Chain A
């Protein structure tokens, strides 16, 4: 598919609208505080790429309007201290597929909130974090409309003496039946000096919903996996 590609280098507060059938690349350079608002227009589709570097605080609002369908790639290149507040709104039938890449040797604090405000909106999250240093990430999905769906898959590798805290919350608010929230978190520690904590949480106020979480930490020992498999557990289950 031949898409047009446009690229913006941004250092000051800005509101950006992504064009239809286009790859939009935003290179954000944070110095102190940066407020960015991105709008994905109704019934358009495309790719949004955000590259971040710098020091300070980034407040990012991503507005996925009704019927928009986007792939969203986030790459964090900051090696210093960065606080990111990311707020995402998904309108009716909006769908967003996000891929987060965090390869950080700095200190990072990130909060991501998906507000599923339109019926049948869907968010699909994959994240890969490699931490050398310190990282905390609070990710939550607020299901604020019916038939909304979230699938969160978070993977992390901790190296050296890193500290990694991941908190993932799926919250289906009262009255939003037919919604689904699923999450998988995996953390692999490559050294044993690492502190990694994962808090998976499901807050469900509604009956007619589906929710699940799976979480694994530490180094999967092939002998243990074999032992569990030898009792009939599929490898996937043996690993979780």
Chain B
């Protein structure tokens, strides 16, 4: 069994503190939902666990089966069994999806994978995810649609067989059918290999398909509330304001002009 343990994690970006003391323990066989308003640090948390160079850990610790994750390079973290399906997967030109997968698999083996075994595994995974088979031979994520990129993240997860799987808004960009396919594949992998999951999402729909064993609310760089799947329903129905009211917190609102226009529009509708 694997354990990912995060203690008192403080993270800054360009000297601005984003995470202000996160404690979280995730074990194999657990599904943790992380929710929270935009810009409050969910992606920051997952990126810091994976080791994105922009995010500086200023305090606290992350361990994986008692190994010091913070001392590891990004690629080592991947090889010990951490996986992050990203909110915005990168496009990398010049390397095909299948060559990339082969190198990534070989990076964690002594003997390079046999061609037959590789092709079988790649084709099997592509089929499971009902992806277009030509995506294997295209450059990594280049020109992929939003949904194709997200499925491709899951494809990589299937092939790399990590212990702890973190998914950052994997559901955004997926159509309803794709959402169901991805959820089914994830659950199958969860049943089969007893992985631990950390899922960041804004929507109840995904958590209806994959019932979390734990739910956490991340506001202003802290986990302010933790409970079970029922908390997802409450957020879906009531939003986050009640939490901040109950706990007397200030929610960090992203000051984007776009979002304030959206807010106005909503208010107008309510006023009618």
A residues with a Cβ closer than 8 A to B are: 221-224, 226-235, 237-238
Contacts and interface: CB of A to CB of B under 8 A. Distances in A.
Q: What is the predominant secondary structure among interface residues of chain A facing chain B?
A: helix
Given A227-B92, A229-B51, A230-B74, 4 more contacts: A227-B86, A228-B100, A229-B75, A235-B74
A238 B140 CA distance: 13
B53 A232 contact: no
Interface string B48-61: 00111100000000
17 contacts: A226-B52, A226-B74, A227-B86, A227-B90, A227-B92, A229-B51, A229-B73, A229-B78, A230-B75, A230-B78, A231-B75, A232-B104, A232-B107, A233-B75, A235-B73, A235-B74, A237-B103
Contacts of A222: 53
A233 B50 CA distance: 13
Contact of A233 (B53, B90, B104): B104
Contact of A224 (B50, B51, B74, B92): B92
A49 to B, nearest CB: 38
Contacts of B104: 231-233
A222 B79 CA distance: 20
Contacts of A238: 75
Given A224-B92, A237-B103, A231 B78 contact: yes
A175 B86 CA distance: 51
A225 to B, nearest CB: 9
A237 B75 CA distance: 10
Nearest to A236: B75
Contacts of A230: 50-51, 74-75, 77-78, 84, 86
B52 A232 contact: no
Interface residues of B, number: 22
The 8 closest A-B pairs by CB, nearest first: A232-B78, A229-B74, A227-B90, A231-B104, A229-B75, A232-B107, A232-B79, A232-B104
A104 B56 CA distance: 40
B160 interface: yes
A53 to B, nearest CB: 38
Q: Which of the listed residues A222, A227, A230, A235 has the most CB atoms from chain B within 10 Å of its own CB?
A: A230
B75 A235 contact: yes
B89 interface: yes
B214 interface: no
B108 interface: yes
B156 interface: yes
Contacts of B92: 224, 227-228
A232 B75 contact: yes
A238 B104 CA distance: 10
Contacts of B77: 230
Interface in B222-264: none
B100 A231 contact: yes
B160 A232 contact: yes
B54 to A, nearest CB: 8
A222 B52 CA distance: 10
Interface string B71-97: 001110111000010100110100000
A227 B89 CA distance: 8
A229 B86 CA distance: 13
Interface in B83-137: 84, 86, 89-90, 92, 100, 103-104, 107-108
Nearest to B80: A232
Contacts of A233: 75, 103-104, 107
B45 to A, nearest CB: 15
Nearest to B85: A230
Contacts of A234: 73, 75, 107
Interface in B179-193: none
A79 B51 CA distance: 45
Contacts of A227: 86, 89-90, 92
A223 B104 CA distance: 17
Nearest to A232: B78
A225 B77 CA distance: 14
Contacts of B90: 221, 223-224, 226-227
B53 A226 contact: yes
Nearest to A237: B103
